[in-house]
Amino acid sequence: MNAEKEVILIGELAVREKVLLRMSLESFCI
Amino acid sequence: MNIVQVDDFQCLVEAATKECDYPVFHYWKNHFEEACRQSIEKKLEIMTSYADELSVFLNIIVKNHLEEKRPMILEGDFISPCLCKKLLEDASIKGRVACIFVTEDSKDQIIKNYEMREGSIQEERAELSFHYNNWLKEQSQGTDIKLISSRPWETAVQRIMETL
């Protein structure tokens, strides 16, 4: 991930499983 | 990095504000049958108004995280393109914020998504989501907001990260 970005806004709607996306993002950020 | 959900702020503003002060936050909940009878254009207008009204509050949250140097991913629907444009054009925080909309261009797929997520067919809701998706794309044209297709789902997160 680009370390310069401190805040990332991700807008999504009805994109399958939001929970899955969140979990993926969380695992990516650890 | 903190993952912050817009849904939480929706709960908060709907509980902490009054309809007379912020009518759009309370319209769907308090006038559900009337809302359902509205045209798709009016429903979309209500939805975009909600996003724009909420952006005032989300802007405060974003600025606070930047000031405190606490990185954050803010995720969810009702992230307004206006808010994104405002943040991306703000010279005082230039380069510190990224904005991405994950899109789904097939109404049939949105219907399937709601069915998978919530177990019921919701054609009217999917119709509105489809129009809202198109509105987000239109509003993002000519801006620094990034658009990412939700499919293939397996690579969505990787593609988001590559965009940053």
Provide, rounded to the nearest whole percent, the portion of chain B with pLDDT above 90.
76
Are B73 and A21 inside 8 Å of each other by CB?
Answer: no
How close A19 comes to chain B (CA, Å)?
A: 10
Pairwise CB contact (< 8 Å): A9 & B153: no
Q: Strand pairing partners for B32?
A: none
* Per-residue model confidence (pLDDT) at position A29: 57
Phi first, then psi, for residue B109 (nearest 5°) are -70, -35
Contact A2 B110 (CB under 8 A): no
Q: Tell me: the pLDDT tens digits for B85-144?
A: 999 999 999 999 999 999 999 999 999 988 888 889 989 999 999 999 999 999 999 999
Q: What is the DSSP string of B104-147?
A: ---HHHHHHHHHHHHSS--HHHHHHHHHHHHHHHHHHTTSS-EE
Q: What pLDDT, in 10s, does the model give residues B43-52?
A: 999 999 999 9
Distances B31 to B28, B36, B107 between C-alpha atoms, Å: 5, 9, 26
Confidence at residue A24, expressed as pLDDT on a 0 to 100 scale: 66
Q: Which of A5, A20, A26 sits opposite B98 (nearest CB)?
A: A5
Q: Is B47 on the interface with A (CB under 8 A)?
A: no
Q: Is B64 exposed, middle or buried (0-12, 13-18, 19+ CB in 10 A)?
A: exposed
A12 vs B contacts (CB less than 8 Å)? 75-77, 101-102, 150
Q: CA-nearest residue of chain A to B72?
A: A7
Question: Which token pair is B34?
Answer: 């009337």
**Residues lower than pLDDT 50 in chain A:** 1, 30
Q: Residue B64: what pLDDT?
A: 95
**What ipTM describes this predicted complex?**
0.83
Instruction: Measure B141 CA to nearest chain A CA, in Å.
Output: 15
Distance CA B18, CA B75 (A): 25
Measure CB to CB from residue B66 to each of A2, A7, A26 and give the nearest one. A7
d(CA B79, CA A12): 8
